[in-house]
Amino acid sequence: MYIIIVGGGKIGYFLARQLLEDQHEVLIVEQAADKAAQIAEDLGEIVMVGDGCEASTMERAGMARADMAIALTGDDADNLVVCQVAKHKFSVPFTIAMINNPKNERIFKMLGINATISSTSVILAHIEQELPSHPLIPLLTLKGGGLEIVELKIPPESQVVGKPIKQVLLPQKSLITLIIGADGQVRLPTSDTVIQVGDEVVAVTMLDSEESLRSALIGAPSVRAF
């Protein structure tokens, strides 16, 4: 495959090295001449100095025959445009963009970038896996009464799994008002409604009963809450 990498930072460098080892044809487009020279010294003449967002640079790089374009600069707008120009102007079949601001994942996907990589999201996902805590998500605080509406997802280890609501000992002035199933189905609970794993329970509670509600629905207090 012919793969063009825009951005000769550390990720671009190591990626190119690996791809070369795997017998791919690789070209790195890097704006800074000194960085480009350093890569060329290590990896050979696989670097081109230029602005990878410019269509003229892409043309010189042979973007039209590239199988894949990978944008790895530190600027999301640049990465987006590299992929869009590669795709729309040079008909590159597969484009990959690095995303610096995880919030941009949605717009990149909407605009047809084939794959996005967000290191922030990857790290966050690992943290969430490593530190299972089941916090109550406060949805709304009702003015005046000291009440709030909270949401909580039922984990597999919860002692209320499989039990009808009437058997769950809720703190005073707490009420389960809505259950959203793992399948997205919304249920209006009665006292006979059975709680299942993955249910998202929406409840009204007193501000100071939050913790007792949490332990009523989940059990032992979370060891390592954030």
Partner 1 sequence: MRVIIMGCGRRGAALATMLDGEGHDVTVIDVDAAAFSFLPDSFAGTEIVGSGTDEDSLRRAGIEQADAFVSTTRGDNRNVMAAQMAKHIFNVARVITLVHDPIREEMYRSLGFRTVSPTRIIAESLREAILADDGGEATGAAAEAQTGSEG
Applying CB under 8 A, which residues contact partner 1?
53-56, 75-78, 80-81, 84-85, 88-89, 101, 103-104, 106-107, 110-111
Tell the smallest beta-carbon distance from residue 84 to partner 1 (Å).
8
Rg (CA), the chain: 26
| Whole-number Å distance between alpha carbons of 139 and 148 | 7
* Angle between the N-to-C axes of helices 33-43 and 10-21, in degrees from 0 to 180, rounded to the nearest 10: 30
Could you tell me which of 198, 152, 155, 157 has the C-alpha nearest to residue 177?
A: 152
Tell the smallest beta-carbon distance from residue 209 to partner 1 (Å).
33
Which CB, 114 or 222, lies closer to partner 1? Answer: 114
Which CB, 60 or 103, lies closer to partner 1? Answer: 103
Could you tell me which of 171, 188, 177, 168 has the C-alpha nearest to residue 149?
A: 177
Q: How many CB atoms lie within 10 A of CB 169?
A: 7
Which CB, 81 or 170, lies closer to partner 1? Answer: 81
Which CB, 60 or 89, lies closer to partner 1? Answer: 89
Which CB, 70 or 150, lies closer to partner 1? Answer: 70
Q: Which residues contact 57 (CB under 8 A, 6 or more apart)?
A: 29, 48, 50, 51
